[in-house]
């Protein structure tokens, strides 16, 4: 179905905003329920059936709170930081292909665009920490910058591997090339590179680190840094950071699905469609939650050691291996 242009823009905008909003609200509920079940508790049960209206209650609570800008902060940057973390996260959704036809904007450098906007998130966290005029926030901001720089490298090296295999930066085409059964997916594309499953794991770990999720949640680190960069934020200022975290997770898991798990393609060739994409994406999101409630936060040295000593050499090796195999065997 072709929608004429201004309406296409408007519907895409509404759909993306609705998708991000609904996901941010209900992933919080899923996270709280899953956390409770992992710890054999019941989780939210009071508001609505099974606590299903809990996100609404949380939203009302956050919105009714005063947004306090502490004295002595850099007011402009302090207010800009939540906007700056939300906008790039939302921008990624403009090019994510949910299915062959369901993509807001099908541009030929969509892969580059997602990662360009994805890397802006660290600047927003840095701004939030810097402008808060709070020692915990600044410590946390400094940690987050070194963490995100460390994990950006293996992530992009892994993405270059996928890029070399699929020979296009268009996300829709990358998925299209993985058609026909799960053995054609990039994660099982052992002909191009026998280490493909390893690159997927590297991508997933880097995605966890880039979105500042446990066990790499140095941005919040509530047990040592109060709430890290979010310490001075109240009400919806904090709420936007929270929403952006979930928007980033959804975008990251969607990218993992597109790059490695064959996007909207069915693993067995039956019933192709957007539901396969959503199924794979939500499974990855569940894994993100599962990892959070399994592992404690790593030490900062451990975090950087993992990146510089293991992930970067491994991803460089897979990159060289892939290019060598492509050179020898070609396509």
Partner 1 sequence: MKAPFNEVISGFVSLLTGMGITLGQLFRPIVTVQYPHQTLTMPKRFRGHILLKKEPTTGKSTCVACDLCVKACPSDCILVEGEKKPGEKRKSVTLFELDYTKCSLCGACVEVCPVDALEYSRAYNLASTSKQEYKVMDLVKRLEDSKHP
| 41 part of the interface to partner 1, by CB under 8 A | yes
The 3-state DSSP composition of the chain as helix, strand, coil percent (nearest 5) reads 65, 0, 35
Two structure tokens written together for 205: 């770990």
CB of 287 to partner 1, least distance (A): 8
- Return the residue matching tokens 């020692």: 135
CB of 45 to partner 1, least distance (A): 7
Kindly state the DSSP code that residue 46 receives in the 8-state scheme.
Answer: S
**Count of other CB atoms within 10 angstroms of residue 231:** 20
Stretch that binds partner 1, among 33-41, 87-95, 158-166, 227-235 (CB under 8 A): 33-41
| 295 part of the interface to partner 1, by CB under 8 A | yes
Whole-angstrom distance, CA of residue 146 vs CA of residue 150: 6
3-state secondary structure of 85: helix
Q: What is the per-residue DSSP string for 95-142?
A: T--SSSS--S---TTHHHHHHHHHTTHHHHHHHHHHHTT-HHHHHHHH
Between 127 and 289, CB nearer to partner 1: 289
Whole-angstrom distance, CA of residue 225 vs CA of residue 175: 41
Query: Binding string, 184-223, against partner 1, x = CB under 8 A?
Result: -----------------x----------------------
Distance of CA 244 to the CA centre of its chain: 9
Between 114 and 288, CB nearer to partner 1: 288
One residue of 17, 22, 101, 310 binding partner 1 per CB under 8 A? 310
Two structure tokens written together for 158: 């892994």
Kindly state the DSSP code that residue 228 receives in the 8-state scheme.
Answer: G
Kindly state the DSSP code that residue 309 receives in the 8-state scheme.
Answer: I
One residue of 19, 26, 38, 115 binding partner 1 per CB under 8 A? 38
| 305 part of the interface to partner 1, by CB under 8 A | no
CB of 201 to partner 1, least distance (A): 8
CB of 216 to partner 1, least distance (A): 13
| 299 part of the interface to partner 1, by CB under 8 A | no
CB of 36 to partner 1, least distance (A): 8
Cis omega (within 30 of 0) for bond into 76: no
| 283 part of the interface to partner 1, by CB under 8 A | no
Distance of CA 124 to the CA centre of its chain: 15
CB of 61 to partner 1, least distance (A): 20
* Chain residues that interact with partner 1, rule: CB under 8 A: 34, 36-42, 45, 201, 290-291, 293-295, 310, 314
């Amino acid at each position: 179905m072709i929608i004429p242009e201004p309406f296409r823009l408007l519907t895409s905008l509404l759909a993306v905003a609705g998708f991000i909003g609904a996901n941010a609200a209900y992933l919080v509920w899923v996270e709280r329920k899953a956390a409770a079940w992992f710890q054999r508790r019941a989780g939210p049960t009071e508001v609505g059936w099974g606590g299903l209206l809990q996100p609404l209650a949380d939203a009302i609570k956050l919105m009714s709170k005063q947004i306090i800008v502490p004295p002595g902060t850099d007011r402009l940057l302090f207010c800009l930081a939540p906007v700056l973390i939300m906008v790039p996260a939302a921008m990624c959704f403009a090019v994510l292909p949910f299915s062959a036809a369901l993509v807001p904007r099908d541009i030929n450098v969509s892969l580059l665009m997602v990662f360009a906007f994805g890397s802006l998130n660290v600047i927003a966290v840095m701004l939030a920490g810097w402008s808060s005029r709070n020692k915990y926030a600044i410590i946390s901001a400094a940690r987050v910058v070194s963490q995100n720089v460390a994990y950006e490298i293996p992530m992009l090296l892994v993405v270059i591997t996928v890029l070399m295999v699929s020979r296009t930066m268009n996300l829709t085409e990358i998925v299209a090339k993985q058609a026909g059964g799960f053995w054609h997916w990039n994660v099982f594309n052992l002909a191009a590179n026998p280490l493909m499953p390893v690159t997927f794991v590297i991508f997933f770990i880097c995605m966890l680190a880039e979105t500042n999720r446990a066990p790499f949640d140095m941005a919040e680190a509530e047990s040592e840094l109060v709430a890290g960069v979010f310490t001075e934020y109240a009400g919806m200022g904090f709420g936007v950071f929270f929403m952006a975290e979930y928007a980033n997770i959804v975008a990251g898991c969607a990218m993992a699905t597109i790059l490695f798990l064959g996007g909207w393609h069915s693993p067995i060739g039956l019933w192709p469609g957007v539901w396969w994409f959503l199924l794979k994406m939500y499974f990855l999101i569940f894994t993100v939650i599962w990892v959070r409630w399994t592992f404690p936060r790593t030490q900062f040295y451990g975090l950087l050691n993992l990146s510089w000593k293991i992930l970067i050499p491994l991803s460089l090796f897979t990159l060289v291996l892939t290019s060598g195999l492509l050179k020898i065997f070609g396509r």
